[in-house]
Structure 1
Amino acid sequence: MTNGQEIGLATSRRQLLAGAGLFVGLAVTAPLVRRALAAGSGPLFSLGVASGDPLPDGVVLWTRLAPEPLAGGGMPNRPVNVQWQVAKDERMRQIVRQGTVTARPEWGHSVHVEVSGLQPARWYWYRFKVGNEVSAVGRTRTAPAVGTHPARLRFAFASCQNYEAGYYAAYRDMAAQDLDFALHLGDYIYERGALPGRVRQHDGPAATSLEQYRNRYALYKLDADLQAAHAAFPWIVTWDDHEVQNNYAGLIPEDSQDPQTFRRRRAAAYQAYYEHMPLRRSALPDGASLKLYRRFAFGDLLALQVLDTRQYRSDQPCDDGLKPRCAAALAPEATMTGTDQERWLFGGLSRSHGRWNVIAQQTMMAQFNSGSDAEPIYNLDQWDGYVAARSRLLAFLAEARVANPVVLSGDIHSSWVSDLKSDFEKPESATVATEFTGTSISSDFPKDWIRRVQAALPANPHIRFFDGAARGYGLCTLERGLWRTDYRSVSDVTRSDSPVSTLAAFRLEAGQAGAKRL
């Protein structure tokens, strides 16, 4: 038996091998756990299972023990041994890796297992056990090996799944797709308090404490369609603002709360995020810090750079909002990523051997003037508020001749396809990259803004496509010479059984800038 490596919960290989009675110990631990739980407690694995961060030789496996998921989890204040298994078959008969991890109360009894020693580019199945209680079986896939030449990859990207705004029919559709992985670009939860008259309701007031954030994640993860999508393939995740607070920037809150109070809030939010995501040890939070930016390679077909544009950004210029730019929006020191992450990004892109080079990040990168030439209006929470940083990135992509760069974005609750120009003020300037901005899984886009955006499109000719009415996700199919993005659209977000169809599809040809509608 070869054991994987537990992440962040500190059961070492030496402890596993020395503990000859670990599997027997599970049988002892489980009844103790059950006796300690309140009468009427639900199943231990109520929040489902997930996998993530696929590498050629392994993945991260996740679950969390939560028999009372909306009441802090409901577990006794003691460590619990959890057995995990990875198999070549769905019936879990051909076990290839297994081991035991310790779910600890200080981490919300979450479980992160870093499995290694797997074969590249193949499917595996996994599950967890505590005594006689067994989790659902999840499916995961390793990445193609370095130096290989995959002919095809398929993945989805999604963001903005406000529980109160609607159901997750988009995830039901996504789970049925044949995907290598899913990419989540942020706003996995919304921290806001419950609002009357919504399709569904949050579990209480705005989340500010660790227990409140835990309960909010639990509410979202109880959704069956979201659980199904997590169990169908590995996820690669990053965050945006609502995992902490709307439009926060670094350690600067949106409102006027005390900085130390916000630091404690961000620390609680970051810990809850880690506890509920399939993340590696490198993402283990340290107080109000958590390193989330990272990169992945899928053979030589896809190089993926995943950014964090919230934790390190400077404050939104001009007092934030939708308005004309002030001088601060053009300042060279204004940053979305921070200096270290920008340097890391440029270094990774310069060394990439990927046929397609993807930058996965949060807010829309393309310039969009929703006003007029006389009075331009920009969204200053987006890259339009950080013009110099955007210019440096686009200039680097051009000068380094990065192969087939594609930017994937979320946040704005609407679908866009954009040419990223070397100079947005000159439509004839070179197209440096293509941006696909995905709509939300469920979050609203203001209806009165649809007409306003449409009216402004002629003055923004680099915007190839816009739709603000549809909810859904993006579906990307990569071949060596061709990229295709389908915008999958939910007919009615207020129905859990809503049909899902393709709203629009676009293709990119390798070596040729600019998307073309199919």
Structure 2
Amino acid sequence: MDRRQFLKWSSFLTVSAASAGLTGCMGDNSDDGADGRNLSAAGKRFDLGVASGDPRPDSVVLWTRVDGGDGSKPLAVTVQLSDRADFSNLLVNQSLSADPGWDYTVRHKVTGLAAASFYYYRFLTGNAVSATGRTKTAPAAGSAPSQLKFAYITCQDWSVNHWGAFDEIAQLDLDFVMHVGDYIYETVGAGFQTGGNENRHPPLTLPNGTVRADGAIYATTLADYRYLYKSYRADPRIQAVHATFPVISIWDDHEFSDDCWQDRQVYYPGEGDTPNTPRRRNANQAWFEYTPADVSIDLSNPSFQNIQIYRSFNFGNLATLVMTDQRLYRADHIISEDSVPNTGLANIGSRYFVPQELLSATETAKIAAAGGDLQPVSILGDSQRIWWQQQMQGAAGAWKLWGNEVSLLRMGVDGTQAVAGMLGQGLAPALAQNFGLNLSPSQQQQLNGALYLDLKAADVSGATPVLSYANTQPQLASFSAAISAPVFAAALKPALDANLPPTMLLNKYILNADQWDGYNAERKALMAFLKNNNIGNVVGITGDIHAFFAGQVYDDFDLASPTPVMVDLVTAGISSNSLFSYFKNVVDTVPTFAKAKPLVYTTVNGQVVNTFTATLQTFNPWLKYADSDAQGYAVVTLTPAKLSCTFHKMGKLAKGTAPSPATVSKQTVEVLSGTPAVNVL
């Protein structure tokens, strides 16, 4: 080893310093490594390619996995890095060990690099040479880059739609790629994962796994999670992205378990009451092994919190990027899964379609019981929240980008108002057919308003509301004298009564309490911190929800006149089932919500028409752009003056093949410096 280099071991993240003028022959590994072990055994291949991550002005982390080990002995591997594509000037030529304890993966951090510079790297073992990777360091501290460009991605279920997006991303001119979670999906064979595989993705079979009641099998052992990462990384399209750009990654839930919190899984009611620490630790270790991240893990620590992945990055004086961990420290969902009726979809009432008043009251009670502490109702946890505040307040960059796994945007529905609209729209054809009354838009709005008042005044003591229609009948009579009280009672009231939904649908609902809507008190605390400290140009870079959204985040969404504080830009999943498909399944399969179907979709000439996007924007006007039925990715171009984000929507799988081009439409939104607002172009 060159005396100007150094090597250290820290949870198997090795480190060396770049030095010019090094020499070395490909595959010429010394017999002994830096730790004194014999490294004479060579591997055979690098089937999972190469990757880099966590670019800083003077360093980057390089990754590969060496094939050919027997599971008991380490393999010799050499890492080379150069500032030239032909490797004619080696800056690193370091012998390493690929250890079976880390599944023969290698994470090597190179320091001493020049800022804002391209580098090329590769790995060697025996006669095998890996693909060449290209990476790029971040701009220097204090520098003034004119532009930063990156793509961000999330939710790449192996078994749903296609991965054509990666072909496109690999061809872009980017500084880096961000992954905001759900790199793998821990289940195989779930209902939403059947029948949607592209031909290039054969079905997955976990080596161990645990069978759920619905027949799906979820990863449980370390071997299971490793198998998933190896399967996902075997795809040459995702390999091309990793080989072309450094990737800054964070996890969300599916790297461990759907909608998880800490070391708890919540597939069914009652599961969240019991820790599953071994499973969580297995998930942590596999993520660490297969992610080129500048973090460490302590396997001697018996806790599930044996790794810290929240961290920050600076890109000159243009941007600070804060990556958070919103699973390992979060509290249980505010409404316990055990406390709601089992609808067959265990998360209805606790995580989805949650009554807003109940959610708020329960959160308030939990805070009061904790003496005002937010910990029992927190996503970030106390320590990470303090760290987040410090990062935001001390940010070197004019823009503060927040790698934020779950959306900050309020997504709710006023059930009473929605039902009034559905009843009014449903009544319109009968008025036209029986009375020749074709309602104008103004009259339709007045009718809906009258129905709303009647619903508010209804007797809701039973399973179905009882209405007097004291406002609706006079309103209709004002449109047509023919609709007298007796005529209304005979001709219209029975149809209205027949379409009344269960009383419970007249609540105000939070649609997704697994995201920040379910942790409203902490969201308000974070927004108050930004507002009170005059911290502007904060933009959430968000995934998770399998839809595109762009909108403002307010200091308090429940105020009559809230103040916008920051912006949240949410990308759809690369391939995962859309948000729309989930809610369509709810109204199709849960009888309680069947009459809410028009809020989600209608059928015209046998074709499903999405109404869910319009419903979301009607009840949540801060959603300046929304597409609830999408797969895709986002590309951000950042300058001192503005942030431009283009959402790329993917076409659907066609006979097992991704369309070409994969993108079928694009939508660009902008955020101007100094203004927490979204402009849809």
Supply the distance in 2 between the matched residues of 1:30 and 1:228 (Cα, whole angstroms).
Answer: 29
Q: Does 1:375 align with 2:498?
A: no
> Pairwise mapping of residues 435-514 of structure 1 onto structure 2 (< 5 A)?
435-445=568-578, 446-447=580-581, 448=584, 449=600, 450-493=610-653, 495-501=657-663, 502-514=665-677
Supply the distance in 2 between the matched residues of 1:10 and 1:261 (Cα, whole angstroms).
Answer: 29
Structure 1 residue identity aligned to 2:618: P
> How far did 1:462 drift?
0.8
Supply the distance in 2 between the matched residues of 1:380 and 1:509 (Cα, whole angstroms).
Answer: 30
Residue of structure 2 equivalent to 1:70: none
Unaligned runs of 5+ in 2: 18-26, 207-216, 337-349, 368-373, 417-505, 585-599, 601-609
- Aligned to 1:431, which of 564, 577, 601? 564
SS in 2 for 1:370: strand
The structure in which a higher percent of residues are helix is 2
Residue of structure 1 equivalent to 2:549: 416
Q: Does structure 2 conserve the Cα–Cα contact (< 8 Å) formed by 1:50 and 1:234?
A: yes
Q: Does structure 2 conserve the Cα–Cα contact (< 8 Å) formed by 1:60 and 1:279?
A: yes
Supply the distance in 2 between the matched residues of 1:404 and 1:12 (Cα, whole angstroms).
Answer: 35
> How far did 1:470 drift?
2.3
> How far did 1:280 drift?
2.0
Residue of structure 2 equivalent to 1:221: 233
> How far did 1:193 drift?
2.1
- Superposition CA RMSD, Å: 2.5
Q: Does 1:235 align with 2:247?
A: yes
Supply the distance in 2 between the matched residues of 1:468 and 1:5 (Cα, whole angstroms).
Answer: 49
> How far did 1:33 drift?
4.3
Q: Does 1:312 align with 2:329?
A: yes
Residue of structure 2 equivalent to 1:390: 523
- Aligned to 2:294, which of 280, 291, 295? 280
Structure 1 residues 75 and 261: CA distance shift in structure 2, 3 A: farther
> Pairwise mapping of residues 128-139 of structure 1 onto structure 2 (< 5 A)?
128-139=123-134
Residue of structure 2 equivalent to 1:268: 282
Q: Does 1:349 align with 2:344?
A: no
> What are the Cα deviations for residues 108-152 of structure 1, in whole angstroms up to 9, with x where unaligned?
111010100110001101000111111110110000011111110
When normalised by structure 1's length, the TM-score is 0.91
Structure 1 residues 284 and 182: CA distance shift in structure 2, 3 A: farther
> How far did 1:456 drift?
3.4
Structure 1 residues 109 and 355: CA distance shift in structure 2, 3 A: same
> How far did 1:31 drift?
7.6
> How far did 1:451 drift?
2.3
SS in 2 for 1:433: strand
Q: Does structure 1 conserve the Cα–Cα contact (< 8 Å) formed by 2:66 and 2:75?
A: no
Q: Does structure 2 conserve the Cα–Cα contact (< 8 Å) formed by 1:161 and 1:188?
A: yes
Structure 1 residues 298 and 142: CA distance shift in structure 2, 3 A: same
Supply the distance in 2 between the matched residues of 1:106 and 1:252 (Cα, whole angstroms).
Answer: 26
Q: Does structure 1 conserve the Cα–Cα contact (< 8 Å) formed by 2:553 and 2:568?
A: yes
> How far did 1:284 drift?
5.3
| More deviation, 434-443/488-497 | 488-497
Q: Does structure 2 conserve the Cα–Cα contact (< 8 Å) formed by 1:5 and 1:115?
A: no
SS in 2 for 1:310: coil
Structure 2 residue identity aligned to 1:422: D
> How far did 1:88 drift?
1.0
- Aligned to 2:141, which of 127, 131, 146? 146
Residue of structure 1 equivalent to 2:205: 203
Structure 1 residues 12 and 352: CA distance shift in structure 2, 3 A: closer
When normalised by structure 2's length, the TM-score is 0.70
> Pairwise mapping of residues 13-32 of structure 1 onto structure 2 (< 5 A)?
23-25=29-31, 32=41
Structure 1 residues 54 and 10: CA distance shift in structure 2, 3 A: closer
Structure 1 residue identity aligned to 2:650: V
- Aligned to 1:173, which of 160, 168, 171? 168
Supply the distance in 2 between the matched residues of 1:144 and 1:10 (Cα, whole angstroms).
Answer: 24
| More deviation, 250-259/148-157 | 250-259
Residue of structure 2 equivalent to 1:18: none
Residue of structure 1 equivalent to 2:363: 329
> How far did 1:10 drift?
7.2
> What are the Cα deviations for residues 380-411 of structure 1, in whole angstroms up to 9, with x where unaligned?
11111111000001111111111301011111
Residue of structure 2 equivalent to 1:37: none
> How far did 1:24 drift?
3.5
> Pairwise mapping of residues 176-195 of structure 1 onto structure 2 (< 5 A)?
176-195=171-190
Supply the distance in 1 between the matched residues of 2:253 and 2:317 (Cα, whole angstroms).
Answer: 32
Percent identity of paired positions between Structure 1 and Structure 2: 31
> What are the Cα deviations for residues 225-260 of structure 1, in whole angstroms up to 9, with x where unaligned?
110011111011000111111111112221445977
Structure 1 residue identity aligned to 2:383: D
Structure 1 residues 11 and 279: CA distance shift in structure 2, 3 A: closer
Q: Does structure 1 conserve the Cα–Cα contact (< 8 Å) formed by 2:124 and 2:130?
A: yes
| More deviation, 118-127/198-207 | 198-207
Q: Does structure 2 conserve the Cα–Cα contact (< 8 Å) formed by 1:29 and 1:131?
A: no
> How far did 1:13 drift?
7.3
SS in 2 for 1:435: strand
SS in 1 for 2:412: coil
Supply the distance in 1 between the matched residues of 2:298 and 2:140 (Cα, whole angstroms).
Answer: 26
Query: Which aligned segments of 4 or more residues in structure 1 are displaced greater than 3 angstroms?
Result: 1-7, 10-14, 26-34, 255-261, 281-287, 329-332
> How far did 1:93 drift?
1.8
Unaligned runs of 5+ in 1: 15-20, 35-42, 68-73
Supply the distance in 1 between the matched residues of 2:668 and 2:118 (Cα, whole angstroms).
Answer: 28
> How far did 1:513 drift?
1.9
Q: Does 1:253 align with 2:265?
A: yes
Residue of structure 2 equivalent to 1:38: none
SS in 1 for 2:31: helix
> What are the Cα deviations for residues 279-325 of structure 1, in whole angstroms up to 9, with x where unaligned?
22435564522101000000010101100000000001112321113
How many residues align structurally?
499
Supply the distance in 2 between the matched residues of 1:491 and 1:124 (Cα, whole angstroms).
Answer: 34
Structure 1 residues 377 and 11: CA distance shift in structure 2, 3 A: closer
SS in 1 for 2:568: strand
Structure 1 residues 184 and 281: CA distance shift in structure 2, 3 A: closer
